[in-house]
Amino acid sequence: MKDFISMLDADMLFIENIIHLSAFLKEKQKKGEIYRPLEGFTAALIFEKPSTRTRVSFEVGVYQLGGHGVYMDTQGSQLGRGEPIKDTARVLSRYVDLIVIRTFGQERVEELARYSDVPVINALTDEEHPCQVLADLFTIWEYKRTLKGLKVAFIGDGNNMCNSWLIAAAFTGMKFYAATPEGFEPLERYVKKAKEIASETGAEIVVTNDPVEAAKDADVIYTDVWASMGQEKEAEERKEVFMPYQVNRELVKHAKPDFLFMHCLPAHRGEEVTEEILEGERSIVWDQAENRLHTQKALILKLVRKATL
C-alpha cells in the first residue's frame, strides 16, 4: 500500500497492524520513552478545511516521531491561486516524504495521490474520514479487546464518517447499523461495497430510518454533527429533521448497559447529543480524541516504513 485515501485501501490485516502499532506507541508515550525513528523525515500538511484534532495530532505526531511537518493552507500556498493539484503533488514529492491533505472533494485526494511519488493520507474529505475511523476502532479495541461481533449504532447523518465506518465495520466483522432520516442515508456505493465485504467477513450491515432499531442492544452508540463543514446554511433546517435522532437518555436505554458513547467532535450539545450523554460515564470521546495522535503516528510508520507488530 502506498497511500491511505479511503477505508477501501485497508483490510483486516492492515487494521489489526494499526491497532497493535498504536498500542505500542501509546505505551511508549505513557512511559515517557523517546521514540524517534523518523529523524530527517518531512511531511507536507495541506489543510483546505478548518481542523483542531486532525491538524494538531498530525503535527505533533510527526514531531514526536522525529520528523518535521510543514503546514500549508489555501491562502498560504499557490493552491489558493488555482495551481492544479497535480502540479502541487509533483513539486511536493521532490521536497517531502509524505503528504497529508484535508480538503473537499474526494477526487482531489485521488488526483494528488495519482501524481505524487510519496505516500498520501486523506485527513478528511466530504466523502470520507478514514483516519478518524482508525482511531475509533483502536479506542473500541482498548475497551473491548475485540471488534468482531460488536454492534455499532451510528445515529444521525449518513455523512463522510458513516461512509468510512461502513467499510471499516465490514472488514472487522462488526454489526453496523446506520440510522438516518429518510433522504440522508450514506452513499449507496459504500453500502453496497460494505455488504459485499460483509458477505466474506460475517459482518452485518444495516441502513435504517429507525434510531431505536439501531440502538437496540448496541455495544457502541456513535453520532456526529447534523451539518458538516460546508452545510452551515442548512443547519437550522436540519435541526428539525434530525431532532428525533438525538442521542439522549431515552435512546441509550435501548443499548447494552455497558455501551460506549462516541463522537468524533466537535460536538453541538443539545443537538445531536445531550450534555448528559456527552459528559456521562459511558462517554469515551476524550480517549477517542487522544487516540487520533497514536493512530496517526502508527499510520505514518505503516506507510513510510512498512512497520508492523
CA–CA dist 235, 304 (Å, integer): 40
Q: Cell digits for 36?
A: 524517534
Is 162 part of any known ligand binding site? no
Is 98 part of any known ligand binding site? no
Question: Which residues, in sequence order, are CB contacts of 35 under 8 Å at separation 6+?
Answer: 25, 28, 29, 64, 65
Is 231 part of any known ligand binding site? no
Is 7 part of any known ligand binding site? no
Is 119 part of any known ligand binding site? no
Amino acid (one-letter) located at 26:
K
Is 52 part of any known ligand binding site? yes
Is 106 part of any known ligand binding site? no
* Residues labelled catalytic: 102, 129, 132, 224, 264, 292
Q: Cell digits for 65?
A: 516521531
Is 174 part of any known ligand binding site? no
Region for residue 150 given its phi and psi (left: phi exceeds 0; alpha: psi -120 to 50; beta: otherwise): beta
Is 81 part of any known ligand binding site? no
CA–CA dist 127, 141 (Å, integer): 25
Question: Which residues, in sequence order, are CB contacts of 107 under 8 Å at separation 6+?
Answer: none
Point out the annotated binding site for L-ornithine. 160, 224, 228-229
Point out the annotated binding site. 51-54, 78, 102, 129-132, 160, 224, 228-229, 264-265, 292
Point out the annotated binding site for carbamoyl phosphate. 51-54, 78, 102, 129-132, 264-265, 292
